Chains A and B, each alone.
Chain A
């Protein structure tokens, strides 16, 4: 191999479509003159065909995305390679499917609420805090199961932050929130809506 173009890797970049137009035109002109480069180009294209034919022949598909979400949430879900013909059916249980649906809903909600932020002038660097309150998704308070993934933080960050829910207790000790029953004082009529401590009736 003596041609500088071959040694520089121009042909490799050309076959991979990485060469700029001007350089590609120059190389094409060079290929009419240089036998060495023409041969190298044939070999590179043959390699490319081999890899493409091989890729088209592989029938393994990645495991469903739900398995990744489940692993992020702490559930132990074995990854099973899915055959392409089976990819329409998830073998993961309904909980993982619910996670995926919740994640998608949360993503669309976050996307929708960020509309005004994008009206900022371009090329401005800024940090916008998006607060996600655990009380909205804490299991004990009627929401979905608490997971770092659904909270939008990496699990190791969540572990270090000692998260608490709205009751002020750690998530693991969280009790369902009980709304206090409306109380009225005994001296008022039933229509009185004042709470006991604010009712002015004698």
Chain B
């Protein structure tokens, strides 16, 4: 469901200066067949329900630690709420969120000096058999986790983010470029190079399995 709120909170108006009154200004340019605009909190709730799982997974891949990823997810949506006024095009929501998440991961990495090379060790305890899944599917999932972790560990931070956004979360190259603050051409190159690394790891794994 595309709830598409064309919503912006603005504070710059004369009547906003009246004591005791705060205006949440809703700027609308909504065609008749579009759904009604949402309150900012409702929009945040909608974004959270829709994308928090993906943001959490992205941050865990970027940080290699699920506790840090959980903190980062919370921080990402707090920042997203504060910047909702800059989000005028609903089509850019995913790139908007992942851009914030990436910045959060960079800051957390810098602040806590998250070491590289933790992906594989952290990947194991977090995977567990799920209800309704066959042992084969679980085994396949564990192997896939290991392959991706090995590949991610060999990439630069930017390349890793580009690959995850494209291959894991399905962002367009335009959204990736927007999130990483790079050109679309560079986003394509980063994903291409990252795929080369991933394929090398997959080849090694297949060779070893035979």
Contact = CB atoms under 8 A, between A and B. Distances in A.
Contact of A103 (B22, B30, B41): B41
B31 A131 contact: no
Contacts of A132: 22-24
A53 interface: yes
A115 B44 CA distance: 21
Interface stretch (B66-74, B109-117, B154-162): B66-74
Interface size range of chain B in the complex = 35 or more
Given A68-B77, A125-B29, A59 B130 contact: yes
Interface in B75-112: 75, 77-78, 81-82, 84-85
A151 B22 contact: yes
A154 B85 contact: yes
A153 B11 contact: yes
Contacts of B16: 161
A58 B127 contact: yes
A82 to B, nearest CB: 8
A72 B78 contact: yes
B197 to A, nearest CB: 11
A152 B39 contact: yes
Interface in A150-184: 150-158, 160-161, 163-166, 168
A107 B39 contact: yes
B21 interface: yes
Nearest to A160: B11
Nearest to B149: A54
Interface residues of A, number: 75
B147 to A, nearest CB: 6
A38 B166 CA distance: 21
Interface of A: 9, 12, 16, 18, 43, 46-51, 53-63, 65, 67-68, 71-72, 78-82, 84, 103-104, 106-107, 110-111, 114-115, 117-118, 121-135, 149-158, 160-161, 163-166, 168
Interface of B: 9, 11, 13, 15-16, 19-33, 36-42, 44-45, 48-49, 52-53, 55-57, 60, 66-67, 69-71, 73-75, 77-78, 81-82, 84-85, 126-128, 130, 133, 137-138, 140-145, 147-148, 166-168, 170, 172-173, 188, 191, 195, 198-199, 202
